A and B are shown apart, each in its own frame.
Chain A
Amino acid sequence: MIQFLLNNRLIQTEQSGAMTLLDFIRYDQQLRGTKIGCREGDCGACTVLTGELDGDQIRYRSVTCCLMPLANAQGRHIVTVEGLNLPDQLNRVQQAMVQNSGTQCGFCTPGFVVSLSGFALRLSTMSPNARAELKTRSPSVLKAQADKKETARPYEEAIISAIDGNICRCTGYKSIERAAFELAAELEESGAAPDLPWLESRGFIPEYFLGAADRLKGVRESIQHLANQRGKAELQAREDAARAADAASSSVASRDSTPARDFTPVGGGTDLYVQKHDQILNMDWQFLASARTVTPLRFEGSRCVISSLATAADLMEEERLLRAIPQWYAYMKLVSSTPIRHMGTVAGNLANASPIGDLTILLLVLQTRLTLRHPRRGTRIVALKDFYMGYKKMDKDEDELIESIDFELPDHQQHFSFEKVCKRSYLDIATVNSAMCIRMEQDRIADIRLSMGGVAPVPAFLAETSGFLIGQQLHEGTILKAASVLQEEISPIGDVRGSEAYKRLLARQLFFAHFIECFPDRLSAETLLKGSAS
Chain B
Amino acid sequence: MINIDAHNHVSGKSVYLDDIPELRDTLYALPFDAPVAHARILSLNLDAARQMPGIVRILSAKDIPGENQIGGIVADEPLLADEQIHFHGQCIGVIIGVSEHHCRQASKAIQVEFSELPAILDARQAQAQGQLIVEPRTFCIGNPDQVWGECRHIIEGNTEVNGQEHLYIETQGAYARPKEDGSLLISSSTQAPTAVQRMIARVLALPMHKVEVDTVRLGGGFGGKEDQANSWAVMAALGAHLLQRPVKLSLHRLEDMRMTGKRHPYSADFKIGLSEDLKILAYEVTHYQNAGASADLSPAVMERTLFHSTNAYFIPHVRATAYCCRTNLPPNTAFRGFGGPQGKFVIEAAIVKAAERIGVKAAEIQAKNLIGDGDEMPYGQVMQKTQARQSWTQCMEQYEYSQQRERVDRFNQSHSTQKKGLAVQPICFGISFTNTMMNHARALVHIYLDGSVVVSTGAVEMGQGVNTKLLQIASECFGIEPRRVRIESANTLRVANTSPTAASAGADLNGKALLMACEALVGRLKAVASQEGLLGDLFFSDEHIYTRDRASAMSWSDLVTKAFQKRVCLSENAHYATPVIHFDKSMEKGHPFAYHVYGTAIVEVTLDCIRGRYVLDQVQLVHDLGQSMNSAIDLGQIEGGLVQGIGWLTLEEVQFNDKGRLLSNALSTYKIPDIYSVPGQIQVALLENEGHELAIKKSKAVGEPPLMYGLGAYFAIREAVRAFNPDLELKFDAPYTPEKVLMDLYRQE
Contacts from A to B (Cβ < 8 Å): 30-40, 42-43, 45, 80-82, 85, 90, 93-94, 97-99, 101, 103-110, 113, 160, 163-164, 166-177, 274, 278, 281-282, 419, 421-429, 431, 495-499, 501-502, 505-506, 509-510, 512-513, 516, 525-526, 529, 532-533
Q: Contacts A167-B674, A172-B682, A176-B675 given: A513-B668 contact, CB under 8 Å?
A: no
Smallest beta-carbon distance B418→chain A, Å: 10
**In the bound complex, CA of A107 to CA of B738 (Å):** 29
Picked from A106, A502, A526, the residue with its CB within 8 Å of the CB of B9 is: A106
What residues of chain B lie closer than 8 Å to A499, measured between beta carbons?
Answer: 739
B632 at the interface (CB under 8 A from A): yes
B714 lies within 8 A of chain A by Cβ: no
Task: Say yes or no: is B465 at the interface (Cβ < 8 Å to chain A).
Answer: yes
In angstroms, how far is the closest chain A Cβ from the Cβ of B709?
11
Bound CA span A428–B672, Å: 10
Chain B interface main SS type: loop
Check B463 against A33 for contact (C-beta < 8 Å): no
**Is B21 among interface residues, defined by CB-CB distance under 8 A?**
yes
From the candidates A45, A109, A160, A429, name the one contacting B675 in the complex (CB within 8 A). Answer: A160
Q: Do the beta carbons of A103 and B9 come within 8 Å of each other?
A: yes
Task: Answer yes or no: B14 CB below 8 A from chain A CBs.
Answer: yes
Q: A110-B10, A526-B417 provided; 4 other pairs, C-beta below 8 A?
A: A45-B169, A175-B635, A278-B105, A512-B610
Q: How far is the CA of A497 from the CA of B663 in the complex (A)?
A: 10
Shortest Cβ-Cβ A-B pairs, 5 listed: A33-B12, A105-B463, A107-B219, A106-B9, A172-B643
Q: Which of B65-73, B337-345, B740-748 interfaces with chain A?
A: B740-748
Q: Is the interface of A mostly helix, strand, loop or mixed?
A: loop
B633 and A529 contact, CB distance less than 8 A: no
- Does A423 contact B636, Cβ atoms closer than 8 Å? no
Whether the Cβ atoms of A421 and B169 lie closer than 8 Å is no
Q: Taking the nearest CB of chain B, how far is it from the CB of A532, in angstroms?
A: 8
The residue in chain B whose Cβ has the minimal distance to the Cβ of A86 is: B11
Q: Is the CB of B742 within 8 A of A101?
A: no
- Chain A residues with CB under 8 A of B539: none
Contacts of A424 in B (CB 8 A): 651, 671, 673-674, 676-677
Q: Is the CB of A105 within 8 A of B217?
A: yes
**Chain A min CB distance to B635 (Å):** 7
Residues of A contacting B610 in the complex (Cβ-Cβ under 8 angstroms) = 509, 512-513, 516, 525, 529
- Tell me which residues across on chain B come within 8 A of A160, comparing CB atoms: 675-676
Give complex CA distance A501, B253 in Å.
31
What residues on B are CB-neighbors of A428 within 8 Å?
671
Between-chain CB contacts (< 8 Å), 18 pairs = A35-B16, A42-B667, A42-B668, A105-B168, A106-B217, A110-B12, A164-B675, A169-B168, A172-B636, A173-B673, A173-B675, A175-B639, A421-B613, A423-B739, A426-B674, A496-B669, A497-B669, A529-B609
Distance from A387 Cβ to chain B, minimum over Cβ atoms (Å): 25
CA distance A390 to B653 in the complex (A): 30
B222 at the interface (CB under 8 A from A): yes
User: Does the CB pair B746–A533 fall under 8 Å?
Assistant: yes
* A163: chain B residues within 8 A (beta carbon): 675
Interface pair A177/B671, CB less than 8 Å apart:
no
> For chain B residues 241-264, which have a beta carbon within 8 Å of chain A?
252-253
Nearest CB of B to A188, in Å: 20
Question: Is residue B170 contacting chain A, with contact meaning CB distance below 8 A?
Answer: yes
| Docked-complex contact B12 and A81, CB < 8 angstroms | yes
Q: A106-B463, A499-B739, A502-B739 are in contact. Are A170 and B640 (CB under 8 A)?
A: yes
A529 to B742, CA, bound (A): 12
Residue from the set B101, B217, B667 with the largest chain A CB neighbour count within 10 Å: B667
Question: Quick one: which of B3, B7, B218, B609 contacts A101, CB cutoff 8 A?
Answer: B3
| B220 interface hit (Cβ, 8 Å) | yes
Please report the C-alpha to C-alpha distance between residue A31 and residue B19 in the assembled complex, in whole angstroms: 9
Q: Which residues of chain A come closer than 8 Å to B668, judged between CB atoms?
A: 40, 42, 274, 429
Q: Taking each of A32, A85, A99, A104, which has the highest tally of chain B beta carbons within 10 Å of its own beta carbon? A: A104
B677 → chain A closest CB, angstroms? 6
Of B220, B612, B676, which contacts A506 at CB under 8 A? Answer: B612
| Cβ B682 vs Cβ A174 within 8 A | yes
A420 vs chain B, min Cβ distance (A): 9
Nearest CB on B from A165, distance (A): 9
CB proximity of A285 to chain B, nearest CB, Å: 16
The smallest C-beta distance from A487 to any residue of chain B, in angstroms, reads 14
Q: Chain A nearest CB: distance from B651 CB in Å?
A: 5
B464 at interface by CB-CB < 8 Å: yes
- Interfacial residues of chain B within 648-706, with CB under 8 A of chain A in the complex: 651, 653, 655, 663-664, 666-669, 671-678, 682
CA distance in complex: A516, B21 (Å): 58
Inter-subunit contact B636/A175 (CB<8 Å):
yes
Residue numbers in A under 8 Å from B465 (CB-CB) = 104
Find the A residue at minimum CB distance from B684.
A174
When the two chains form their complex, are residues A496 and B611 in contact, meaning their CB atoms are under 8 A apart?
A: no
Contact present for B674 and A505 (CB under 8 Å)? no
A282 and B52 CA atoms in complex are apart in Å by: 14
A278 touches B18 (CB 8 A): no
- Measured CB to CB, the closest approach of chain B to A111, in angstroms, equals 9
In the bound complex, how far is the Cα of B746 from the Cα of A529, in angstroms?
9
> Least Cβ distance of A520 to chain B in Å?
10
Task: Contact check, A278 vs B739: say whether CB atoms are below 8 A apart.
Answer: no
CA–CA, A505 and B741, complex, Å:
12
Select which of B12, B104, B653 is within 8 A of A423 by beta carbon: B653
Which one of A82, A171, A498 contacts B636 once the chains associate, using CB atoms below 8 Å?
A: A171
Q: Which A residues are in CB contact (< 8 Å) with B18?
A: 32, 36
When the two chains form the complex, which single residue of B5, B19, B639, B651 contacts A174, counting CB atoms closer than 8 Å?
Answer: B639
Contact A32 B19 (CB under 8 A): yes
B10 and A98: CB pair below 8 A?
A: yes
Which residue of chain B lies nearest to A171 when distances are taken between CB atoms in the complex?
B640
Interface 0/1 of B556-585, CB less than 8 Å to A: 000000000000000000000000000000
B385 at the interface (CB under 8 A from A): no
B644 at the interface (CB under 8 A from A): yes
B414 within 8 A of A: no
B167 interface residue per 8 A CB criterion: yes
Residues of A within 8 A of B11 (CB): 33, 81-82, 85, 90, 94
Partner among A36, A99, A171 whose Cβ is within 8 Å of the Cβ of B2:
A99
Given contacts A81-B12, A172-B643, A533-B746, contact A43 B667 (CB under 8 A): yes
A533 partner, pick from B641, B671, B748, beta carbons under 8 A: B748
Known contacts A42-B668, A80-B12; is A104 also within 8 Å of B611 by CB? Answer: no
Q: Does B462 interact with chain A (Cβ within 8 Å)?
A: yes
User: Are the C-beta atoms of A171 and B639 separated by less than 8 Å?
Assistant: yes
Q: Look across to chain A and name the residue whose beta carbon is closest to the beta carbon of B14.
A: A106
Contact A177 B170 (CB under 8 A): no
Report how far A499 CA is from B674 CA in the complex, Å. Answer: 24
Q: Quick one: CB contact mask for B427-441 with A, threshold 8 Å, 1 for yes?
A: 000000000000000
Residues A101 and B640 in contact, CB atoms below 8 Å apart: no
Residues of B within 8 A of A104 (CB): 3, 463-465, 636, 640
Contact A101 B636 (CB under 8 A): yes
A30 and B675 contact, CB distance less than 8 A: no
Given contacts A104-B465, A505-B746, contact A34 B12 (CB under 8 A): yes
**Cα-based distance from A85 to B9 in the complex (angstroms):** 12
Query: How far apart are the CA atoms of A2 and B484 in the complex, in Å?
Result: 47
Complex alpha-carbon distance, A170 and B104, angstroms: 31
Which residue in chain A gives the minimum CB-CB distance to B724? A529
Q: Judging by beta carbons under 8 Å apart, are A101 and B219 in contact?
A: no
Considering only residues 220-235 of chain B, those with a C-beta below 8 Å from chain A are 220-222
With contacts A35-B170, A105-B463 known, is A427 near B674, CB below 8 A?
yes
Contacts of A82 in B (CB 8 A): 11-12
Find A105's partner among B220, B609, B663 (CB 8 Å cutoff).
Answer: B220
Q: Check if B162 is an interface residue, CB within 8 A of chain A.
A: no
B611 to nearest A CB, angstroms? 5
Contacting residues, chain A, for B462 (C-beta < 8 A):
105
Report B422 CB to chain A, min CB distance, Å. 20
* Contact code string B136-180 (vs A, CB < 8 Å = 1, else 0): 000000000000000000000000000000011111000000000
Whether B739 pairs with A101 at a CB distance below 8 angstroms is no
**B168 to A: closest C-beta gap in Å:** 6
